[in-house]
A and B are shown apart, each in its own frame.
Chain A
């Protein structure tokens, strides 16, 4: 049905036709009206699967005991937030904030530390890679291991495949509000890892505002060396470059450290086979000798001649 014909329809007929919206519009134009799905909080849709057309109220599960436990938890968090304010910024006295030069942000000292992390692989889109996360020996490290398989899934949409990733969960304060990391006192990311020689990508997720920035990440490489020795990796934050859905952007800006949400490690090096990455800790530190603000220059894309 062309746009001209659509404009002649009455509103009710238009609404009826919206059910079969793939017939209404050509496939190159995205749907102008979506009645049943909210555009903001779509959960992940595996390519090749049909879209789930449920109204929001059809997705609610009521449970009184869970509700009461939730109220207690959130009010306790709120009280802690108020109480922390008396002490100082981020719950630490100001003198500690001034003197802080290193901070361990994520440490793997027990199975409960794995709750903060989400592991996923291309199994979500129908691929054959596997990725698992477990606590290493002596409860001292975490081990991300699995198998990479770059055979693309046969769903007619996906062309490339073969990735595994581990990402930290978004920290939440009371009432499920986002809590950001404030790393302005630091300028270097410090990790202690033991890999198997594969090149990994470190992605830092920062707080965004516009919906089209949803998949914006700051990335940098992590070249692991394999071998039995631990590797101390220090990457200044000025080296991170802006990517969107994995593609480097032309318009680069430095990473602002006052609202960092998450960190993630991705492996997608097109080499099929098993992989392992052992992480001891992830921290941030302040390197006083590093004065670079941003490592990349931006040139005019269309210079006038």
Chain B
């Protein structure tokens, strides 16, 4: 793509999220979300493949619906309460509608069906932007809304962890697996939203780092399904050896970073007298862990039948950038001891 156009679109993405992050008026926040949607549309359709166009269309339709619903609910709130401030929403009906609209925006169950198909139609880098950057703006709004409806938030959260775990179980396409993992993590973020919003922010930050590392590794190996992932040991053996750690971190196992949000969320849920919710969330995380383990099995713990010992490809130095992988991979594995500092960072 023309570098000026690319720069303009990235600037548009940056602008949209920044506008939403810094807004206190619903109209300005909606505007930021729309700028985000419109800026990413050409990036998604850049490939010109019919599947990319299909993914772009589906993304645009869902995001436009969500934005329209958001606008409708904020207008209703303005009508009922006389003000447009995000943090002063008192009426339960517009609040619930806005939560559902934002759930459609980020892809929470049961409004998640677009996410695997859309991610499958994109190349890995655009998928990375979709999974990470595009979640920041809606979450900034979710964090600011006074948590009114206890049931709907917990329901969305548990449904997402369940659907994210169950849906990803028999996928062989990596982008769909990452979509379902995204749904599951978003569920974890939403469960704790009404009790300790800072833990939601912590979970979001750690999720962004972990999923970026995975996307970047898959991009480095240029692989989009499990079978081609199995040949990664010949292309980048060091990456292949640390990838299981990253996957286990995404699954929430100690001593990796991914354990931190899960542990703190479960602790907080127990303190809030919700042991059943905590149990269900923890059990559904096991489903996600199963397909992360399957990925690490296919990648590192097996050698495919194709590359025999005397047909190993040339280990030419790769032209792809490795610094982002380095940073995100280190952060994904080593940040658990810094838990108090990270908590202090995200305390709102």
A residues apposed to B, CB below 8 Å: 84-85, 88-90, 94, 97-99, 101, 182, 184-185, 208-210, 213, 216, 251, 253-254, 256, 258, 286, 288
Contacts and interface: CB of A to CB of B under 8 A. Distances in A.
Given A89-B171, A94-B294, A209-B57, A256 B49 contact: yes
Nearest to B302: A98
Contacts of A256: 49, 51
B48 A253 contact: yes
A208 B50 CA distance: 8
Interface of A: prevailing SS? loop
A254 B47 CA distance: 11
Interface size, B (range): 20 to 34
A5 B230 CA distance: 68
Nearest to B224: A184
A149 B127 CA distance: 51
Contacts of A216: 50
B76 interface: no
A256 B57 CA distance: 18
Interface string B16-56: 00000000000000000000000000000000111101100
Contacts, number: 56
A182 B305 CA distance: 20
A182 B13 CA distance: 34
Interface of B: 48-51, 53-54, 57-58, 120, 169-173, 224-227, 230, 294, 297-298, 302, 304-306
Contacts of B226: 94, 97-98
> By CB atoms of chain B within 10 A, which of A89, A254, A286 has the most?
A89
A256 B297 CA distance: 26
Contacts of A85: 169-170
B122 to A, nearest CB: 12
A208 B172 CA distance: 20
Nearest to A259: B51
B306 A288 contact: yes
Contacts of A253: 48-50
Nearest to A208: B50
Nearest to A254: B49
A256 B47 CA distance: 13
A221 B58 CA distance: 34
A146 B124 CA distance: 48
A97 B306 CA distance: 14
A288 to B, nearest CB: 5
A97 B225 CA distance: 11
B172 A99 contact: no
Contacts of A94: 226, 294, 297-298
